[in-house]
Amino acid sequence: MAQRQEETTSPKSLFELLLGNLSDDAELMSTRERERLAERDIFSELSGEYEPLDESRLRVIDIQRRVARVPRLDRAIFESLAKLREEVSDLQSRVDELTELARNTAKIYNATIHELGDIQYELTMPIQVVIEEDEEETVARIPELNLYASADTDSEAINELKQEVIDLYKELESSDRKLGPLPQSWLETLRKLIVKKNG
């Protein structure tokens, strides 16, 4: 009889136990529900400021983390810097050599002769002259006539060259023998450039 009573009371206690568990679950569910509502309230307050991270931003953050883990100045970087320093030094010495060479190289520029400095000869058009200046002397040239003159200054060299033009013109004009192709071309050029005045 006692056993039967325990068996009959047993389902009741089981039922109470289940009810107790259900109330615990309900309490747990209500706790979870409260947390979810609290999160929703936080996100609604931050809705103006909150921006979900897109994939590209996450990639940038990942790269930044990886770079932060790499030592900034390791041996390879020091070696690269030393090599670059050597190359820069070599380039600087080459620039210095070229600068020195440029100082010692002749300056070349053009000038124009408008008159020959002799009243008997007049130019019909200006003659282009090439001037080469270096530390030792100045040379004035007329490449078309294969004429040149040298002096200490460009003005002196040009004056000497003017006289060379007159001398070549006189010599070619007074030649009584047949001229070769090159002297003949010089004479034709000079006849176009120079007019001899009477008197």
pLDDT digits (tens, 9 = 90+) for 26-66: 555 566 666 666 566 555 555 555 555 666 666 666 666 66
**Confidence grade of residue 12 (pLDDT, cut at 50, 70, 90):** low
User: How many Cβ atoms are within 10 Å of 113's Cβ, its own excluded?
Assistant: 19
**pLDDT at 2 (0 to 100):** 45
Tens of pLDDT, residues 85-121: 889 989 999 998 888 877 777 788 999 999 998 889 9
In a domain, 131, yes or no: yes
**Contact status, residue 157 vs residue 131, Cβ threshold 8 Å:** yes
Residue 131, domain extent: 106-196
Same domain for 111 and 46, yes or no, is no
Same domain for 40 and 114, yes or no, is no
CA 111 to chain centre: 35
In a domain, 166, yes or no: yes
**Contact status, residue 112 vs residue 130, Cβ threshold 8 Å:** no
In a domain, 30, yes or no: yes
Euclidean distance between CA atoms 193 and 35, whole angstroms: 106
**Phi and psi dihedrals of 28, rounded to 5?**
-65, -45
Torsion sign (Cα): 153, 131, 120, 171:
positive
User: How many Cβ atoms are within 10 Å of 169's Cβ, its own excluded?
Assistant: 21
Nearest to 188 by CA among 198, 179, 197: 179
- DSSP designation for 131: E
Token pair of 83 as six digits: 């090599």
In a domain, 87, yes or no: no
Length of the chain: 199
Same domain for 42 and 111, yes or no, is no
Same domain for 119 and 38, yes or no, is no
Same domain for 192 and 111, yes or no, is yes
Same domain for 115 and 185, yes or no, is yes
Same domain for 111 and 192, yes or no, is yes
HSE-CB at 63 with a 13 A cutoff on CA atoms is: 6
Same domain for 192 and 119, yes or no, is yes
Overall number of domains in the chain:
2
Residue with tokens 């810097």: 81
